[in-house]
Structure 1
Amino acid sequence: MRVLGVDPGLTRLGIAVVDGGLGRAVRAVAVDVIRTPADDELATRLLKVADGVEAWLDRHRPDVVAIERVFSQHNVRTAMGTAQAAGVVALAAARRDLPVMFHTPSEVKAAVTGSGRADKAQVTTMVTRLLRLTEAPKPADAADALALAICHLWRAPVRNRMAEAEARAAELAKAHRARLAEAAKSGGRRPAGGAAATPNSRAAGSRAVGS
């Protein structure tokens, strides 16, 4: 599986492609940062992000796009810009019918370091080690994009098994409800041979026996 990992942002958007092999084997294909000038208009910056991401999608043809889920930050303006950049990436992937998965920062940290509270330096160190890179990826946005791709590769099998188990449980529940409905329906059926006897017909039958 080939994953395009994206650490969204307007000023710097980390972007990386990682291939997953058997087990937990991972290999870095490409990593970079898409930058937009802070003094440009918002629409222009989003267009530059879109153009850059679409070029990566066309060049590397990933199977899935993994994006960091945006959370509220102290700086509302920064959070909004990050969310807008993430939306542009998701739209570009959707136009190519690519699945888009969102991972929280703690999920990513836990996947690559074993701790959901790891700092950026620890994430960078582990990404460098896991991918056997000759030097640490810089800036941190690039390392985060690689970490996102690794996170998805390692979480996808678990997620798929959970989805299969949920689907199987839903099928069993549906079959069980159908059996209950059939049993209830069967229990209300009248005996074969005609309609149920009325009180008058039972009384007439009693007189006939006694006569």
Structure 2
Amino acid sequence: MPNFSPRTDHLPKLISKWLHQPTKALRVPEVFIEQVEAYARLLDQGGSDLSIPVKPPQQPHSSQGEKIWLGIRPSLRQLGWSILKGRENEHPIVVDYGLIETEAKFPLPQRLVEIESDLTELVRQFQPHHVALEKPFINANFASGSSSLQALGVINLVIYRQCQVFPVLLYRATWKSHLGSPKADQREVAETVQLLFDLKRLTSQVGSEAIAIAYAGFCGLGISEK
């Protein structure tokens, strides 16, 4: 049964270090966490000198002839992305890869906003010249299919708004065939990608699929909606 008269006198009292209350959690890029917190501390303490040097994140500079490709494996729950860089007729290198994840417990509009925000930051950081996007099979008659279509709409919006390019579209069987088998599973894709790009370890199988998608686009596969 619940205790409606709990004793709390013996519990330690937690004193916030912030002068202004209440506080609230805030999502910011990790690279700026220390600077944002330092600025907030100055504001909280009524400081007059609020100038804090900002160190912009390093970007992958492309030398003459090099092109940067963004590969996207679309999903509302786990969107895989990858960045490849290289010259034409040369084997590209993997610059980075990862996931944009949203939680199913949140409303669809909130999840779409999170994808839009994170993907925008990603594009601004790496400034890709081209984008390779998997074109999934979607049944719009199901709720999950409708949600996936909306996620695809957000992805296309960000790509065109930030890059002014039309993505190269690749069916799953197309980019998998480029690796050797149209029926390869996630583990097989990850192993092939690891060998192709001499990666010591892969932190995400979905991310490895995004690498394969970018690689197929880099090699000239896919169709453009232009």
TM-score by length of 2: 0.64
Query: Which residue number in structure 1 is paired with residue 160 of structure 2?
Result: 94
Partner of 2:133: helix, strand, or coil?
strand
Query: Which residue number in structure 2 is paired with residue 152 of structure 1?
Result: 217
Q: Does 1:38 align with 2:104?
A: yes
Structure with larger Rg: 1
Question: CA–CA distance in 2 between the matches of 1:77 and 1:129?
Answer: 38
Give the drift of 1:24. 4.4
Query: Which residue number in structure 1 is paired with residue 184 of structure 2?
Result: 118
Q: Does 1:103 align with 2:170?
A: yes
- Give me the CA root mean square deviation: 2.2
The one-letter amino acid paired with 2:111 is: R
Name the % identity: 24
The counterpart of 2:115, out of the listed 49, 59, 83, is 49
Partner of 1:135: helix, strand, or coil?
coil
Give the drift of 1:44. 0.6
User: Where do 1:165-176 residues align within 5 Å?
Assistant: none
5+ long unaligned stretches in structure 2: 1-66
Partner of 1:128: helix, strand, or coil?
helix
Cα pair 2:103 2:111 within 8 Å, conserved: yes
Question: CA–CA distance in 1 between the matches of 2:118 and 2:223?
Answer: 29
Question: CA–CA distance in 2 between the matches of 1:122 and 1:8?
Answer: 19
Residues 159 and 6 of structure 1: CA distance in aligned 2, closer, same or farther (over 3 Å): closer
Give the drift of 1:76. 2.8
Aligned length: 157
Question: CA–CA distance in 2 between the matches of 1:74 and 1:49?
Answer: 20
Question: CA–CA distance in 1 between the matches of 2:146 and 2:140?
Answer: 11
Which deviates more, 101-110 or 89-98?
A: 89-98
Query: Which residue number in structure 1 is paired with residue 206 of structure 2?
Result: 141
Query: Which residue number in structure 1 is paired with residue 15 of structure 2?
Result: none
Question: CA–CA distance in 1 between the matches of 2:139 and 2:223?
Answer: 28
Cα pair 1:67 1:86 within 8 Å, conserved: no
Query: Which residue number in structure 2 is paired with residue 19 of structure 1?
Result: 85
Higher relative contact order (CA 8 A, sep 6+): 1
Question: CA–CA distance in 2 between the matches of 1:42 and 1:159?
Answer: 29
